Amino acid sequence: MSERALVVLSGGQDSTTCLFWAIERYGKDDVSSITFDYGQRHRIELDCASKIADCAGVPNVQVPIDTFTALGGNALTDDIEVDDGTADANSLPNTFVPGRNLVFMTFAAAYAWQNDIKHLVTGVAQTDYSGYPDCRDETIKSLQQTLRLGMETDVEIHTPLMHLSKKETVQLAASLGAIDAMALTHTCYKGERPPCGRCAACEIRAKGFAEAGIADPLVSQ
Amino acid sequence: MSERALVVLSGGQDSTTCLFWAIERYGKDDVSSITFDYGQRHRIELDCASKIADCAGVPNVQVPIDTFTALGGNALTDDIEVDDGTADANSLPNTFVPGRNLVFMTFAAAYAWQNDIKHLVTGVAQTDYSGYPDCRDETIKSLQQTLRLGMETDVEIHTPLMHLSKKETVQLAASLGAIDAMALTHTCYKGERPPCGRCAACEIRAKGFAEAGIADPLVSQ
């Protein structure tokens, strides 16, 4: 298996940073990206992912997953008002799609298996995580083992942002020359462009840029 | 979380046996079944699963997964001649869909999570396995841990056939009163009905019934 890498690119700030991280580590010619069309309400994410990959000069394959919409019941695919989870500290936010990252990574691993790619890169982080248990380091390590056993492969899952704060993620993006590309990303839970600036996702992003002392080109453009 | 069970029902002999196993263990009122429409060439499997669930008196939900067809490259979803893997002992058969069982179980766990169901039941077996690494006990145990971590649940995956031979699986089905339902199942890789009797799947099934000394109602009907 070659030293090629596949980045799971959502069109957001974190996965875009990971794309530039992978390009620096493996070289542009050995990096590609995969984006899942899982019925997300904010279809703009798919367009963002495509433009970000173009900007970075790597291929982007978009793969459908119709299953989450069929299962329903969450605010990312259904017409349900976003609840950021702050109302009840003991419950998961209603943006939680059970198993979403597990499914994304399993399909990414299947694509990698078919295309002789060893390295998977994902922008999950547990530092600032919004209550999503499938973004934690322990979960990803267990998933890597499951994928290795289930596909007889030595796939490696890389999570360069796992233990970074949003401030540190912005600093990493700056060190990788990825700030300009941030103008192409999408973060807002409300799907607004320019971003609403008030939802939990916008607030976390703004705080990261502010603490890093770097202007967010998405806001200032 | 209640002591309810969800059986992953493919419409084949093994998952049908598991459905009757679950009914005996949890009671009919606490068992339901889930079937994935993943673009399988033999659409008859979906009809079989529905009829088997009806026959057993439990609900059956059918959930689409369009991703495997989009990824392509295997004999179960594409128009590729089935290779049973005997040509090359070191390679996986081309009926291998990378990550298929991992994805099935993850979506089943997501459905179970949404519906407050603790137990998942699947008919995978490593004894007679056809080279599928995602059917092995080690893989399933690792997957259970990944699902528990990723969904913050105490889901249990049950694999009652894991260490049984096909003969023992037929004997188990007989002890559960599931032999009549076998007339509704589908096994043949070629999609023929009555079954072709010559493909690897038909041969394994026939051998199991013969060794158990029980007539297969699918063949003798």
User: How do the domains of chain B map onto residue ranges?
Assistant: 2-220
The model's pLDDT over B89-125, given as tens digits with 9 standing for 90+, comes to 445 566 667 889 999 999 999 999 999 999 999 999 9
Question: Is the CB of residue B134 less than 8 Å from the CB of residue B141?
Answer: no
The pTM for the full model equals 0.91
Strand-pair category, A156-158 with A31-37: unpaired
Class of domain A2-220: alpha beta
Q: Taking residues B67-75, what's their average pLDDT?
A: 80
**Phi, psi at residue A2, to the nearest 5°?**
-80, 170
Strand-pair category, B156-158 with B117-121: parallel
Record: contact B67-A71, CB cut-off 8 A: no
The model's pLDDT over A87-142, given as tens digits with 9 standing for 90+, comes to 444 455 665 678 899 999 999 999 999 999 999 999 999 875 566 899 999 999 99
Q: Which of B79, B27, B63, B56 is nearest to B185 (CA)?
A: B56
Residues of chain A in contact with residue B103, where contact means CB-CB under 8 angstroms, are 103, 106-107, 110
DSSP string, A117-158: EEEEE----SSS--S-GGGSHHHHHHHHHHHHHHHT---EEE
Q: Which of B220, B42, B71, B92 is nearest to A65 (CA)?
A: B71
Which amino acid would we find at residue A152?
E
Give which of B71, B77, B153 to mutate to test A binding, by max A Cβ within 10 Å. Answer: B71
3-state DSSP percent of chain A in helix, strand and coil, to 5: 45, 10, 45
Regarding an ipTM greater than 0.85, the answer is yes
Q: What is the mean pLDDT of chain B?
A: 89
Q: Taking residues B152-167, what's their average pLDDT?
A: 95
Record: contact A99-B92, CB cut-off 8 A: no
B107 touches chain A (CB under 8 A): yes
Give which of A38, A68, A71, A157 to mutate to test B binding, by max B Cβ within 10 Å. Answer: A71
Which amino acid would we find at residue B29?
D
Q: What is the largest CA-CA distance in chain B?
A: 47
Residues of chain B in contact with residue A106, where contact means CB-CB under 8 angstroms, are 99, 102-103, 106
pLDDT at A65: 95
The model's pLDDT over A41-63, given as tens digits with 9 standing for 90+, comes to 888 999 999 999 999 999 999 99
